[in-house]
Amino acid sequence: MSAVNFNMRLEAELKEKVTPILEDYGLTMPQAFKLFLNQIVKTKTIPLSFDYARETALTPKAAAKLLHSLKEIENGEYTEYETVEEAIQAMSEEANG
């Protein structure tokens, strides 16, 4: 199969934003675009959903616990530990009652 050149114009800001994401996947811009085109051919659809480590929202329960913990810290209601082992021991004791 013979290859052809394909040039594309896009905004500099878009290129700056997408490049580090593609690099996280180990891809160059041309490689990613070729994958995109191959997926269109394979599925005969345009893939609009991509898996990537996105920010995820906290559940309401987790958000409430986080806010409670922050208030405890602001009120000085916390314990400091000298070593990691000491902290792990305290967490283990808390978890096991």
User: Tell me: the pLDDT tens digits for 20-37?
Assistant: 999 999 999 999 999 999
pTM: 0.47
Question: Which phi and psi angles does 30 have, rounded to 5°?
Answer: -60, -40
- For the stretch 34-75, pLDDT in tens is 999 999 999 999 887 656 656 667 788 888 999 999 999 999
| Structure-block tokens of residue 24 | 């996280």
pLDDT at 92 exceeding the cut of 70: yes
The domain locations on the chain are 8-54, 60-96
3-state secondary structure of 3: coil
Give me the amino acid identity at 91: M
3-state secondary structure of 92: helix
pLDDT at 19 exceeding the cut of 60: yes
What is the predicted pLDDT for the residue at 22? 94
